[in-house]
Amino acid sequence: MLFVKAVAMGFCIAAPVGAIGMLCIQRSLSRGFFSGFATGMGAACADAVYGLLGALGVAGIVAALPMLTVVLKAAGGTFLVWMAWTIAREAPAAPAAGQDTIRVPVTRDFLTTFALTLSNPLTIFSFIAAFAALGPLNASQGAPAAMNWFTVVPMVTGVFAGSAVWWLFLSVVTSALRTKLPLAFTRGISVFSAVAIAAFGLVQVATGLSRLV
């Protein structure tokens, strides 16, 4: 039952469309299913890493090192802006629906979103809140709560599985529409995605730098 609840929690955490969601949609439309799904899986794996760190109580380290949060948020925001510029630059050259696009290794799609998602260490706290909602990490048989692996493993695995299900769904639906959308609409989606992702990046940079004031 704990695993099922964690799957539902992971799905709900991933579902809101933010910068990664826009990136997944844009890549699914312009490059196809595998690119979009690799993008989502990069975020899902990063969420699993932060979920594990949050379950192990590493959030206290992040709280004790505010400069780490500033640097990572600013770097992540800058990376988002660069990615938005890349998307906007490629949009005019987008091919007609159903044709092959510029080949980009899916490993690159995976690694860019993995690194991007890891650039927000505050994600750890969201997972602590999620785990608290699922049920406290109570100690069993005298083991420390944070190291109760019989509780941590199904929760982290469930969150990852739920997130992966969402990205699979989003990639399948978006790539299926790819062959039915006119070129002008696909280009419009790319431009809109670039603007939205750049906005997310600028907000993240501003949020990080505001901690220095």
DSSP string, 86-112: HHHHHGGGPPPTTS------HHHHHHH
Q: What is the pLDDT of residues 41-86, one digit of tens each?
A: 999 998 888 878 776 766 566 566 667 667 767 777 787 788 778 7
22-33 mean pLDDT: 87
In the block, which residue shows the tokens 């639906």? Answer: 173
Note the pLDDT of residue 92. 43
What would the two tokens of residue 112 be? 């860019």
Question: Global pTM?
Answer: 0.69
Give the whole-angstrom CA distance, residue 175 versus residue 180: 10
> In this model, does residue 142 exceed pLDDT 60?
no
Note the pLDDT of residue 207. 76
Give the whole-angstrom CA distance, residue 65 versus residue 136: 25
Q: What is the pLDDT of residues 171-192, one digit of tens each?
A: 999 888 877 777 676 677 777 7
Give the whole-angstrom CA distance, residue 78 versus residue 70: 12
Give the whole-angstrom CA distance, residue 148 versus residue 145: 5
| Highest mean pLDDT: which range of 25-34, 48-57, 193-202 | 25-34
What would the two tokens of residue 164 be? 């992966």
Note the pLDDT of residue 93. 45
pLDDT over 90 for what percent of the chain?
14
pLDDT band at 31 (very low <50, low <70, confident <90, very high): confident
What would the two tokens of residue 4 be? 């099922």
> In this model, does residue 9 exceed pLDDT 70?
yes
